Amino acid sequence: MKIITGSPARRENFFNREKLIDKAWDYIYSGHHLLIAAPRRVGKTSLMYNLLDNPRENFIPIYLITESINSENEFFRRVVNKILKSDYATKSQKLLSFIKRYRPNIKKLTIDGIEFGSNDNINYREMLSDLLRSPMNENSKLIIMLDEFPETLENIIDDEGTNAGKHFLQVNRELRQDPEINDKVVFIYTGSIGLENIVSRLNLIKTINDLSRLKIPPLKTDEAKQFISLLLQNIEFNLSEELIDYILQKIEWLIPFYVQLIIDELRNIWRDGNLKAITKEAIDMAFNEMLEQRQHFEHWHTRIRATAKGKEYNFIKELLNLISINFKITSNEIYNLAVKYDLTAISKDITASLEYDGYINNNDDKDIYRFNSPILKMWWRQNVAN
């Protein structure tokens, strides 16, 4: 298993959390449309890649990242094109009749499949509905995995307005609920921001209440230890049980990303320092070195700058600054901060977004919020709060 810190882990580099994978497939077998819920860097995309790379019998998964899409019609065009280039269509005898029906609108027709170009005069949602109602593969069920779907929704709201965003959610729900479609297709949605939080602001929770929620929790201690043992198989040094426990205590929020980062830094220290053995001092040094790698943490700040403007950004920044310095913040203190920025009406939604996105939690006490990760807390205090 290689150390992967910059992209999703796939195939032999994916840490197989069997119970989580089985739970995902249980939902799929039952015909549930899924919302994969987890903070960033926890492994949502890696999970979808695992479903894509290891399809089970009679299922054909496709994966589409939709982060850059900013219109409803373009979204459905991309989905149509993805399906038509998959085994679901290319190995179907029904593809020819579809080609004949839509030939005037086809941009490309190659051995790799069909592709429709951007054309505002074509309703690609209707085309997708037509495609799914008449399944090209009678023996297989299609799994459509849509990564960064909440970002697409935000893009549409930003570019075309709230009503366009509401319509986008409504037509997606109509598609899922169509009785001629929902027994042939499973939709899976995820993204690095919380779909539920955006939809709540629009007062349209009913548009996603048909989605089953699959949570991806941090690793359990025994899973994290197993993960480290796999990473160490291709590394020159070993770690004692005591040192592994020391690492996990310092990480605290046991997501694969942080585990891989610290093992990678230890490997660098081992090579550069010609060490004979890893010590607690070397581990402390590795954590300090890890915090200097801005590319691994800067997105936590830039994401907020990109999505929150004006007083909302200032509110979030001060809230996180206070937690990074004081280690915690109470619900009353958050309310008082919201009063300062005149954001009491949406402060709970903002706090929920920060929870979903992996910044903070109130797991130990519902009235006290802390950073999820002491690593992120230290980085924020050093690079944003000061």
**Could you give the CA distance from residue 376 to residue 213 in angstroms, rounded to a whole number?**
26
The pLDDT, as a whole number, for residue 111 is 63
The pLDDT, as a whole number, for residue 231 is 92
Instruction: Provide the pLDDT confidence category of residue 259 given band limits of 50, 70 and 90.
Output: very high
* Superfamily (CATH H level) for 18-215: P-loop containing nucleotide triphosphate hydrolases (3.40.50.300)
The pLDDT, as a whole number, for residue 9 is 82
**Could you give the CA distance from residue 115 to residue 348 in angstroms, rounded to a whole number?**
44
In tens, the pLDDT along 170-180 reads 999 999 999 98
The pLDDT, as a whole number, for residue 112 is 67
Q: What residues does 37 pair with on adjacent strands?
A: 215
Residues above pLDDT 90, as percent of the chain: 58
**b/e map 26-40, b = 16+ CB within 10 Å:** ebbeeebbbbbbbbb
Q: Check residues 135 and 4 and name the one with the higher pLDDT.
A: 4
- pTM for this predicted structure: 0.87
Is pLDDT of 16 > 90?
A: no
The torsion defined by the Cα of 30, 33, 38 and 41, in degrees rounded to 10, comes to 100
H/E stretch holding 289 reads helix 280-291
Q: The domain 297-385: what is its CATH number? A: 1.10.10.10
* Residue carrying structure tokens 């290319």: 90
**b/e map 149-159, b = 16+ CB within 10 Å:** bbbbbbbbbee
In tens, the pLDDT along 315-334 reads 999 999 999 999 999 999 99
In tens, the pLDDT along 143-200 reads 999 999 999 999 999 999 999 999 999 999 999 999 989 888 999 999 867 788 788 8
Give residue limits of the domains in the chain: 18-215, 221-295, 297-385
The pLDDT, as a whole number, for residue 76 is 96
In tens, the pLDDT along 50-64 reads 999 999 999 999 999
H/E stretch holding 110 reads strand 106-110
In tens, the pLDDT along 80-116 reads 999 988 888 877 777 777 777 877 677 777 666 778 8
Q: Rg for the chain (alpha carbons), in Å? A: 23
Is pLDDT of 135 > 70?
A: no
The pLDDT, as a whole number, for residue 337 is 96
Is pLDDT of 29 > 90?
A: yes
Q: Is 308 exposed, middle or buried (0-12, 13-18, 19+ CB in 10 A)?
A: middle
